[in-house]
Structure 1
Amino acid sequence: MPASTTKPPTFTRLSAFPLTPMDEDGIDEAAFARLVSRLASAGVDSIGALGSTGSYAYLTQAERARVARIAVQHAGNVPVIVGIGALRTKQVLALAADAQNAGAAGVLLAPVSYQSLTEDEVFGLYQDVTRELSVPLCVYDNPATTHFQFSDELHARIAHLPHVASIKIPPVPSDSDAARARVDGLRSGIPSSVTIGVSGDAAAVDGLNAGCDAWYSVLAGLLPKPCLAISRAFSRGDIEGAARQSALLEPVWALFRTHGSLRVVATMAEELGLTGSPNLPQPLRALDWAGRALVRDALQAIGVVDWS
């Protein structure tokens, strides 16, 4: 039978990726449950548990299985996507089984490695995993973290595997023509049923304007309302309004560019009292006192009381 051309709703519009708050004694399950509940109440389109913002690589299989269950339990009717990346294929398969048993609506897989991977090895990973899946999969293209560079040809090969439903791409170029060419070039080789989602929050407007179907967002995992304002403006066809909303968040985007999104949102979560401190796995740390002051300034500048 021909593949469906209907785009899966789990992998469209706004997907919010929350922190997994933790210290060296374990995961703060109550804080994580509150974060997920806030996202569900805000009305995000999906929740991405155990993404890079969720520190999946630092957790044991048992901890990740527990986080997946908590996410599904507290997400209400909002679909949950669970990250399943790991060094070995057999570990990925075990994590995929845990995610499906928890009730995940989809899974997110990056090609995690210590040794550099070849394209054939990465294709083999997705081939082996999709063969065992019963839920949709999002390909996580994150070269800044994995140090693996997908070619469009490899994306096309993987996108034709069963259960592949979306590709999460890095930020697109800021030039609108180049951004459109990037998205169109990728889309030309993949099935029409596979969505393309942009990551890199500061580039979200560029990606959506270039034709991306989804925004996989770090900030939305902590402050969903301003991100929803951007996403919903695009859904209405109000591109200029979306750009204005994104511009209001420039103080945050500037911090992301300087310090990286994970440390910034971890510091924000502490400052807003949404998690304890520390909330990252060592050796990772939230920002120091000088960075924390900049975070407070940014939160004040974007009117976080109105956005929380």
Structure 2
Amino acid sequence: METKRQPVIWLQGAGCTGCSISIMNSVSPSIKNLLLDEVVPGSFLQLVFHPTLMAATGEASIEVMLDTREKEEGRYILVMEGGIPTARGGIFATVGEKKKEPVTVLSRFVSLARGSLAIIALGDCATFGGIPAARPNPTGCKGAKDVVEEEKIGVPVINVPGCPPHPDWFVGTVAHILLYGLMSSDDLDELNRPKIFYGQLIHENCPRRPYFDEGKFARKLGEEGCLYELGCKGPFTYADCPLRHWNGGVNWVIGAGSPCLGCTEPSFPDITGPFYKKISHWEKLKPSLK
């Protein structure tokens, strides 16, 4: 059987590289399997450009990116990690140079997006702006989908938010594309997130939900009870963390005794913060608290 390769260009903008680190912590498959072996039978990823992981540096690495843009037009997946600064022409984040002048992430993203098969916005910064776009947002950071719409780029965007996102959310999204093609509108929610990972509220599957229904709330960290009074955003946050768990299925944030911070939502961090304070303006969030 002929093996299919799927080229991937991974661009990083305003962020902490935490999304890359999270993906590197993938357990099944491991990062080694993800990069070197078949992700699904007959298909494997060809990660041609990643600023953190690739061995090449400087002009050599940029040449690889541009060569892929030209030769694989319409075939490669563009992964955007981090927010995209747009203020002052986007000068707050750059990737490489052209004629000894810095090239902005904004410019690179727009060019690469136009030639891609699809865009995966990975992490809250790339999806909704995240922490770099928090008030007062002096760099004008935006999520990938906002830039795509403003530039009228006719390429689908799949949002995989989280701060950071779970490795399975990225691997599962890529595997779906390799197996079945691009996700349809039926596969995505209203925020372009895969329903398979973001289809239910954390509140619905939280093991502390019975405490909420009984009105038994913890008043300080470490106490028994629902963590809503301590700032938990689970009633407004869509993700499968309670079922999937993190670090190879070992634990998750509420299992460790900390409130959910709502990091998969566009309201993170401006509306969901302060993180450890009960939210008093929940009417701004969707869905309504039940």
**Normalization by structure 2: what TM-score?**
0.36
Compare relative contact order (CA 8 Å, sep 6+) and give the higher one, 1 or 2: 1
Q: Which has the higher helix share?
A: 1
Name which one, 1 or 2, has greater alpha-carbon Rg: 2
